[in-house]
């Protein structure tokens, strides 16, 4: 695999070719990835996968017209043809007065921050296989587990570079490791499945295979013999595994594209209380070895920790340059760029700050409610905020998590859910988006 410096030079070279071919402006991304994945089932090797890729994406501007092209053929002849095609396409494209590169004055200057995203490790397929086998074995050893969907382990090394015609060039590399187990408990129609996984930029920060396996097995067994829920308005408590999805609905609603198109249920919410007082939601691209850390955004702008919600109040939209121009604002450093197409927006290490009460206190006064560990379906309307999802989890009775329950629906509106949300103090940074256990009062629970 190329070094970051070589990847940066590749991106800068195609940009220079584009400007020589008649583009008024251009940017390019180079992405390379090498990954190995091992899966096992019932103690036997099931699959070994190895993938390697190198891709180059080019976006060119002719006036206010633009076009994007991409290729995995990096030969000089192919790149010359790619540039010619891109410029010709841009000349025939419709004008877009909002399109363009990021403001030159806002580009990141100097050396990028050191985020420790690459541990320079090498993992053999044999080591991955051993870890996957150990995780599955630990899961199958849990009493009540009757079958397995398998264990898996993976390792990857990735490289990403961006260059623009108005002065930015940067690159960085990352490593990534994953370990998972998924098993089945029970027999016949009463079978239940569950899983556990861990991922990290550094291999030594993964949970152990034994921990992952035990967690998967215990979760599956705990779901056996679920009861049905009655229909009622009840407190709903979200396990951190599923509660993180609530922040996904928030960021979708405050993306520049949604605001510019007026297709968001939070359209008029800037500067107003969206959550209860005391709730803060932050985005931290500088978190050392974070799963979504990055030194600059998809347009070459510097990134920095941002309070998206502070003391319950919505503080910012998420803007790339195009949506910022359309709204008469400044880009926020949240641009995301793929190989093909124009930038969109994304967050980095997004998280809700921990609350001040333990999980036991959070649920202690709930006479009857539900603790949700799985959500099913995509019944969320980003325009109205209406929320309706299938769910499974556990009954809360007299302040205690008791019996498993399944085949019920939880429903409300995201505005009401955000306003009535209370976080516990158990925040852990395990995923790209993290929340503590959260409680939302007054949701409608509909039994199956």
User: Under a CB-based contact definition with an 8 Å cutoff, are residues 10 and 56 in contact?
Assistant: yes
Cα separation, 185 vs 430, in Å, equals 25
Cα separation, 106 vs 164, in Å, equals 13
pLDDT grade for 447, boundaries at 50, 70 and 90: confident
H helix runs in 108-208, sequence order: 125-140
Nearest to 409 by CA among 384, 437, 390: 390
Cα separation, 172 vs 118, in Å, equals 9
Q: Quick one: tokens of 108?
A: 């990141």
Residues 206-237: pLDDT tens digits?
999 999 999 999 999 999 999 999 999 999 99
Residues 146-181: pLDDT tens digits?
999 999 999 999 999 999 999 999 999 999 999 999
Q: How far is CA 11 from the centre of its chain?
A: 25
Residues 316-373: pLDDT tens digits?
999 999 999 999 999 999 999 999 889 999 999 999 999 999 999 999 999 999 999 9
Residues 7-45: pLDDT tens digits?
999 999 999 999 999 999 999 999 999 999 999 999 999
Residues 384-421: pLDDT tens digits?
999 999 999 999 999 999 999 999 999 999 999 999 99
pLDDT grade for 111, boundaries at 50, 70 and 90: confident
Q: How far is CA 101 from the centre of its chain?
A: 25
Those residues with Cβ within 8 angstroms of residue 34's Cβ, 6 or more apart along the chain or in another chain: 1, 50, 51, 52, 53, 156, 157, 158
Domain ranges of the chain: 4-221, 226-448
Q: Would you list the DSSP string of 264-315?
A: -TTTT-TTSB-S-TT--EEE-TT-TT-TT--SB-TTS-B---EEEEETTEE-
Cα separation, 44 vs 136, in Å, equals 10
Residue 382 has pLDDT above 80, yes or no: yes
For residue 360, the SS3 value is helix
pTM: 0.94
Q: Rounded to 10 degrees, what is the CA torsion of 9, 15, 20, 23?
A: -170
Q: How many CB atoms lie within 10 A of CB 414?
A: 21
Domain 4-221: top CATH class: alpha beta
Q: What percent of the chain has pLDDT over 90?
A: 96
Q: Which helix (H) or strand (E) holds 209?
A: helix 209-222
pLDDT of residue 199: 97
Q: Quick one: tokens of 101?
A: 């590169």
- Computed over every residue of the chain, the mean pLDDT equals 96
Cross-strand pairs, 174: 158
Cα separation, 366 vs 431, in Å, equals 28
């Amino acid at each position: 695999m190329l070094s970051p410096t070589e990847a940066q030079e590749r991106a800068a070279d195609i940009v220079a070719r584009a400007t020589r071919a008649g583009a008024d402006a251009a940017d390019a991304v180079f992405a390379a990835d090498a990954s190995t994945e091992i899966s096992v089932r019932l103690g036997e090797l099931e699959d070994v996968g190895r993938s390697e890729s190198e891709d180059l994406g080019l976006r060119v501007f002719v006036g206010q017209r633009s076009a994007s092209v991409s290729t995995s053929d990096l030969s000089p002849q192919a790149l010359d043809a790619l540039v010619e095609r891109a410029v010709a396409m841009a000349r025939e494209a419709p004008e877009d007065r909002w399109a363009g590169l990021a403001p030159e004055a806002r580009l990141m200057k100097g050396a990028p921050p050191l985020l420790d995203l690459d541990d320079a490790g090498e993992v053999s397929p044999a080591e991955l296989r051993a870890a996957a086998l150990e995780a599955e074995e630990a899961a199958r050893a849990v009493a009540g587990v009757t079958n397995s969907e398998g264990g898996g382990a993976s390792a990857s090394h990735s490289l990403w570079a961006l260059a623009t015609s108005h002065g930015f060039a940067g690159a960085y590399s990352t490593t990534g490791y994953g370990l998972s187990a998924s098993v089945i408990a029970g027999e016949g129609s009463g079978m239940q499945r569950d899983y556990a996984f861990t991922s990290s930029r550094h291999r030594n920060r993964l949970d152990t295979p034994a921990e992952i396996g035990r967690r998967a097995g215990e979760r599956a067994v705990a779901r056996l013999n679920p009861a049905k829920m009655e229909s009622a308005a009840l407190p709903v408590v979200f396990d951190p595994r599923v509660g993180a999805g609530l922040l996904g609905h928030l960021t979708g609603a405050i993306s520049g594209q949604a605001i510019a198109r007026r297709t968001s249920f939070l359209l008029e919410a800037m500067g107003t209380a969206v959550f209860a007082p005391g709730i803060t939601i932050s985005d931290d691209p500088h978190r050392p070895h974070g799963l979504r850390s990055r030194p600059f955004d998809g347009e070459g702008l510097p990134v920095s920790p941002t309070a998206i919600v502070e003391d319950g109040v919505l503080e910012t939209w998420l803007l790339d340059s195009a949506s910022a121009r359309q709204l008469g604002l400044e880009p926020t450093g949240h641009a995301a760029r793929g190989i093909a197409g124009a930038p969109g927006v994304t967050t980095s290490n997004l998280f809700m700050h921990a609350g001040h009460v333990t999980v036991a206190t959070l649920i202690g006064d709930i006479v009857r409610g539900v603790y949700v560990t799985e959500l099913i379906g995509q019944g969320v309307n980003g325009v109205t905020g209406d929320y309706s999802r299938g769910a499974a989890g556990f009954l809360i009775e007299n302040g205690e998590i008791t019996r498993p329950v399944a085949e019920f629906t939880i429903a409300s509106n995201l505005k009401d859910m955000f306003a009535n949300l209370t976080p516990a103090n158990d925040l852990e940074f395990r995923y790209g988006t993290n929340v503590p256990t959260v409680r939302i009062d007054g949701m409608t629970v509909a039994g199956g």
